Structure formats: C-alpha cells, structure tokens
Amino acid sequence: MTGRPLEGRVIALCVAGGIAAYKAPIVARQLLALGARVLPVMTRSAQRFVGAVTLSGLCGEPVRDDMWDPSFAGELHVALASQADCVAVVPTTADLLARLAEGRADDLVTALCLVARGPIVIAPAMHPRMWAHPAVRRNVATIEGDARARIVGPVFGAVASGEEGVGRMSEPEDVVAAIVAALSPRRDLEGRHVVVSAGPTVEDLDPVRFLGNRSSGKMGFAVAAAASARGARVTLVTGPVVLSTPSGCTRVDVRGALDMQTALDEALDDAGDALVMAAAVADHRPAEYSSAKTKKVEGDTLTLTLVKNPDLLAAIGARRAGKRHPVLVGFAVETNDLEAYARKKRAQKQVDFVVANLAAHGFGGDDDHVLFVDDGPARAVQGSKRAIADAVLDEVVARLA
C-alpha cells in the first residue's frame, strides 16, 4: 500500500495473548507508515508473547492494559474509544472472540470494543481445530451479525504447532488493508432498497411436521449484512433459521414458499432496486395440510402427494422482462454439472447472474467457493460468505449504475 491513507486517523491496536501477537508490532509499524496514530492496548496475557516496551517504543504512546490504571484520571476505555476512529484486535484469540460475541466488558480490550464508535477489525488466530469448533463458529457468526465488525482471516497455512489448516492469522499487510478499507467504507448502495431472501422454506404437513431442506441461511444473512453496511435499506425475507438479524435490516419471517412469495412481492413493490435470492425455496409442498396431527399408518408405507410450488424467482424475472431493474441474482446448488445447470437457470429465470455452488461445499459452513455465471465466462470466487456477499454486491452495484 502506498501514500498515507491513514493520515489524521487514530487506531486503537489491541493485542491479545496468542503466538501471533509477534505480528502486532509489524501491523503497528505499517499503520504508522500510512500516517496513523496508533494507541497500543494489550490484554494481560498478550504481554507473555510480546513486550509492552516494543509497542510503546514503536508507537510513541503508553501501552494501556488496565481498566483501573491509577495513573489515568477518568474512564480509560471511554477515553480511548473517543479518540480512536477504528479499533483493531490483532490477534484475536478464541477466548477473546467468545468474550466479544457475548458483549462482555471484563477487561480493557472488551470494554473498549463495546464502547467503540467506529469499525472494529478482528484478526483471529488460533489452532485450526479451535477455529473449526462449533462454539467458535457460533461466536464468529454472532460477531458477523454486527455491521461494525470486520473479521479478516484467518487463512490456511502453518500454525505455531507446525500443523497446517485454517487458523493462521492474516498477514500484517492484509490486516492493515482491512483497517484502511474499514475506515473508507463503500457506501455504494446508499439510497437503494435491496431485498434478500435467505434460509430454507419449510412446507407444513401438519402442526408438528414439515418438509424442509438443509439451508442454514448464512449466505443470505451475509448478503443482508454487507448490503446494510454499504448503505442500502435492506429487507431480509427469511425462512426459519437460528441466526440473529444483521443490524439495520428489516426482517420478515416466513415459513412456506407461498408466504415467501407474498413477502417478496410486497418488499419489491416498495421501490426494490435488487433482489438477491439466496433462499432454498422448496419446489413442492404437500397437496394437503392436516390441522390435526396425522397418526402413523397401519401398513409399512405412507405415500405423500406433493404439488408444485411456483418458481418465485422465475415469476419475478418474467415480470421484469425487458427492463433492467430490479437487478436479479439467483443462486443454484447442484451436485454435478454446476456451470451448465447455472447457465440454464439463468436463462429460464431471466436473471442477471447466478451464484452457483456444489452442495458438498456450502451448507452450514462459513466459507464457500462459488461460480458467478452471467452471459460472459464463469468466474470462481472463494472466501468467507461475507467476502462472497460483497463480491455479489459489487456485481449488483455495477448493474445498478
């Protein structure tokens, strides 16, 4: 990175106790070179890994590590937050991620993150098995729901133990790039209304049973969070999922495909500029709904009769035919022949582009690799669902221009 894009900016650089803490002084140095003033903050355990003197010497600022610092008159976390344009947590350990996800304020770093005014850049680093643990996945998902938080990395590579996997902290220049980006956020969807569908639809058989699918809703929620962060008014129409609503989004909860159709039509009628159709809409629903719980059959088999649901996206595509707006983005999950099926769906549904992925990759995870299919050559995109969401929105913005 060249120039001094951080001139006049103040970054509170929080360092937590992990081996990757040795990279924090490099991050500090690069931030200083870009013109920032850097306020170093350390957890107590960080000081087992990197010396406070190193950071204070580099930054020319005292290292803060104690909420109750007797040498400071006033509330230290509030004072730091009012100075800092951005808080960066480098590295973020599994423990600190958990405390941030819970909204705790049990040390200076967590209290500062809670009271911070601007973006919070989080650079996790931990053993790959920790990063993959369901508890850490839950905490990451919670933090991703906070539009102020930007998680950068971790990346695949060797970790301290010598093992390889996803858990290694992003390189200092990537962390610095994320800080620069966080301080110059794209507001390229300001004034736009983006409608996003997410999650599965569930088709009720009776009051206790339904037909569903394995969609987690994470991709649609990531698109909604990213669109909101980029300034859009967002309506998020979602089937049943266990995800918290990204900040700033209006959420409409639905169950079946027909409910989703009604909700989407209403949302798009309200000046919809784009529809990102990430929901896994059931193609069929039971022909009959029983208002009483159905009892098990006497014989060994039960035959259900299903009727076809409308294709929500195709109907919207047909209505739009000949016009450029709203921009329509479809998704496709396939087990084989990914690109060919995606091209077929794009044509059938009359949408701008299709984001296609293999069933084996996407379900439930936080990362994905997908294929963007429009009328040109297909483009592979890989990364966190949030990064893929931003890439989807880049395409939407280009088509809105």
CB of 241 to ligand CTP, least distance (A): 14
CB of 227 to ligand CTP, least distance (A): 16
Q: Does 147 bind ligand CTP (CB under 6 A)?
A: no
How many of the chain's residues bind ligand CTP (CB under 6 A)?
15
Choose, by CB under 6 A, the member of 330, 372, 384, 396 that binds ligand CTP.
330
Cis peptide before 91 (omega within 30 of 0): yes
CB of 15 to ligand CTP, least distance (A): 43
Kindly tell me which of 309 and 384 has the beta carbon lying closer to ligand CTP.
Answer: 309
- How far apart CA 390 and CA 230 sit, in angstroms, is 9
Residue 262 CB contacts under 8 Å (≥ 6 apart), including other chains: 254
CB of 284 to ligand CTP, least distance (A): 9
213 is catalytic: yes
Kindly tell me which of 55 and 333 has the beta carbon lying closer to ligand CTP.
Answer: 333
Give the x-and-dash track for 292-311 against ligand CTP (CB under 6 A): -----------------x-x
Q: Does 275 bind ligand CTP (CB under 6 A)?
A: no
User: Given 139, 213, 336, 357, which residue is catalytic?
Assistant: 213
Amino acid identity, residue 325? H
Kindly tell me which of 192 and 345 has the beta carbon lying closer to ligand CTP.
Answer: 345
Q: Give buried/exposed letters for 168-181 (b at 16+ CB in 10 A, else e).
A: bbbbbeebbbbbbb
CB of 35 to ligand CTP, least distance (A): 44
Residues 27, 394, 329, 352, CA torsion sign: negative
CB of 315 to ligand CTP, least distance (A): 8
Cβ 141 vs Cβ 101: under 8 Å: no
Per CB under 6 A, the segment of 101-109, 166-174, 180-188, 331-339 that binds ligand CTP is 331-339
Cβ 371 vs Cβ 335: under 8 Å: no
Kindly tell me which of 107 and 273 has the beta carbon lying closer to ligand CTP.
Answer: 273
Q: Does 272 bind ligand CTP (CB under 6 A)?
A: no
Q: Does 342 bind ligand CTP (CB under 6 A)?
A: no
Helix, strand counts (H, E) of the chain: 14, 19
Residues counted in the chain: 401
Estimate to the nearest angstrom the gap between the alpha carbon of 32 and the chain centroid. Answer: 29
Angle (deg, nearest 10), helices 94-102 and 134-144: 50
Q: Does 332 bind ligand CTP (CB under 6 A)?
A: yes
- How far apart CA 350 and CA 166 sit, in angstroms, is 38
Kindly tell me which of 78 and 318 has the beta carbon lying closer to ligand CTP.
Answer: 318
Per CB under 6 A, the segment of 62-70, 124-132, 287-295, 326-334 that binds ligand CTP is 326-334
Per CB under 6 A, which of residues 208..267 are in contact with ligand CTP?
257
Per CB under 6 A, the segment of 215-223, 244-252, 276-284, 391-399 that binds ligand CTP is 276-284
Q: Give buried/exposed letters for 308-345 (b at 16+ CB in 10 A, else e).
A: ebebbbeebbeebeeeeebbbbbbbbbeeebeebbbeb
Q: Does 199 bind ligand CTP (CB under 6 A)?
A: no
Cβ 199 vs Cβ 153: under 8 Å: no
Cβ 328 vs Cβ 316: under 8 Å: yes
Kindly tell me which of 228 and 309 has the beta carbon lying closer to ligand CTP.
Answer: 309
- How far apart CA 237 and CA 217 sit, in angstroms, is 10
Q: Does 116 bind ligand CTP (CB under 6 A)?
A: no
Q: Give buried/exposed letters for 90-109 (b at 16+ CB in 10 A, else e).
A: bbbbbebbbbbbeeebebbb
- How far apart CA 350 and CA 155 sit, in angstroms, is 37
Kindly tell me which of 140 and 373 has the beta carbon lying closer to ligand CTP.
Answer: 373
Give the x-and-dash track for 26-65 against ligand CTP (CB under 6 A): ----------------------------------------
CB of 331 to ligand CTP, least distance (A): 4
Choose, by CB under 6 A, the member of 204, 206, 266, 283 that binds ligand CTP.
283
Radius of gyration for the alpha carbons in the chain, expressed in angstroms and rounded? 24
In the complex, which residues of this chain contact ligand CTP (CB under 6 A)?
257, 277, 279, 281, 283, 309, 311-313, 330-333, 345, 349
**Catalytic residue positions?**
213
